[in-house]
Structure 1
Amino acid sequence: MTHDFSPDDLRVHQVLQDDPLAAPLLAELAVEYSSRHGRSAGQQHAELLAHPLDAFAPPGGALLVLTYEGEAVAGGAFQRFDAETAELKRIWTARERRRRGLGRFVLARLEAEIAGRGYRRIVLTTGPRQPEAVGLYLAGGYTALFDAERSAEEIGPHRFEKYLPVKAAA
């Protein structure tokens, strides 16, 4: 893994889905999903944009975009799943910035934000043709809610969960 920046070089922005900083994230996710899941990039993009705008907005959710020298390089979101659970969505790293630790950085920032909102559990689903995502979540301490002995295609959507540490009373 090579780094051309340090975490101090990154700026974290909390934005709404329709913010221009989120546009590269959504556009590249649409292309990525279409290449892996067989729908057109246009269909994928329309589906991403159709997600309710307030789902990734406080108080229940957030959309974070990381920038490096003004360019969106990574991001991710969460939304309320239930009173104690947040659901991760849209974890993304720009194609030319992958394998540099940005996914782990995004995941850590999202987890901190989720814990700060009082959630105790995180869930997520990733597709069977996204082995990099599966690796990220396993490395991040997420529990696979599927039989890892089966093939990815047999499993279908890969569900994960993670319980957050309970903070000690002051």
Structure 2
Amino acid sequence: MTSTDTAATETVPTGTATSETATAGSTTLRDGRLLTLARTGWDDPRAVALRAAMDAEIAPRYAALRAAAPPPAPPSADDVETVVLALVDGEPAATGTLRRLPDRLEVKRLFIDPDHRRAGLASRVLTALEEEARDRGAAELFLQTGNRQPEAIALYERTRWQHTDVYAPYDPTDGISVCFWKEL
């Protein structure tokens, strides 16, 4: 794996009201494709499209379980610190969000486009979110996933996240939430 200098950042227009900060360097993936991680806003249309694909894939897994109780409110532009967008050969391939809760920072909406899975993007986006949290002074980071997402649970366990009690705004009695914590 080859990488170039990724220490510097630059602001790049996205064609919308939001802007992104992209690393000055990129990384070559094992298969030769070029990976660039960009920091952007919640409303970036590329991230919006990836989150919509996530909803389409994941929502059916929980439809029967959520019949009695609605899911917690998703993040909004007001509570999002940053969105990491993974671009492979310039195309949106993965996204993850760092959300601000009243008492902590939380990883949300980590999703890899099916055409880009098995390339290590999930762990790279997760690591970028951890670095963002550290840069904001966080000593720890939290996340919530669902019990019908074994691939997500396996990722978090593999990357040394620890299981923790279900925290607000999630319902500890719904039987769905699986929460994790990591010291940074």
Same-fold call, TM > 0.5? yes
Letter in 1 for 2:181: E
Larger strand share, 1 or 2: 2
Bigger relative contact order, structure 1 or 2 (CA pairs below 8 A, ≥6 apart): 1
- Using the aligned pairs only, state the percent identity: 30
- C-alpha distance in 2, partners of 1:24/1:119? 29
- C-alpha distance in 1, partners of 2:147/2:133? 25
- What is residue 77 of structure 2 aligned with on the other side? 53
1:5-31 deviation per Cα after TM superposition (whole angstroms, max 9, x unaligned): 46xx21122111211221221111111
- C-alpha distance in 1, partners of 2:182/2:102? 14
118, 121, 130: which one pairs with 2:140? 121
| Cα distance, 1:143 vs structure 2 | 0.5
Unpaired stretches in structure 1, ≥5 consecutive residues: 147-153, 165-170
55, 72, 75: which one pairs with 2:92? 72
110, 122, 132: which one pairs with 1:103? 122
1:130-167 deviation per Cα after TM superposition (whole angstroms, max 9, x unaligned): 00000111111111126xxxxxxx95210110111xxx
> TM-score with structure 2 length normalisation?
0.69
Letter in 1 for 2:120: G
Q: Note if 1:22 corresponds to 2:15.
A: no
Q: 4+ runs of 1 displaced by more than 2 Å? A: 2-6
Q: Note if 1:145 corresponds to 2:171.
A: no
Letter in 2 for 1:54: D
| Cα distance, 1:81 vs structure 2 | 2.7
- What is residue 31 of structure 2 aligned with on the other side? 4
Larger helix share, 1 or 2: 1
RMSD across aligned positions (CA):
2.3
> 8 Å contact 1:15–1:21 — kept in the other structure?
no
Unpaired stretches in structure 2, ≥5 consecutive residues: 1-28, 65-69, 166-173
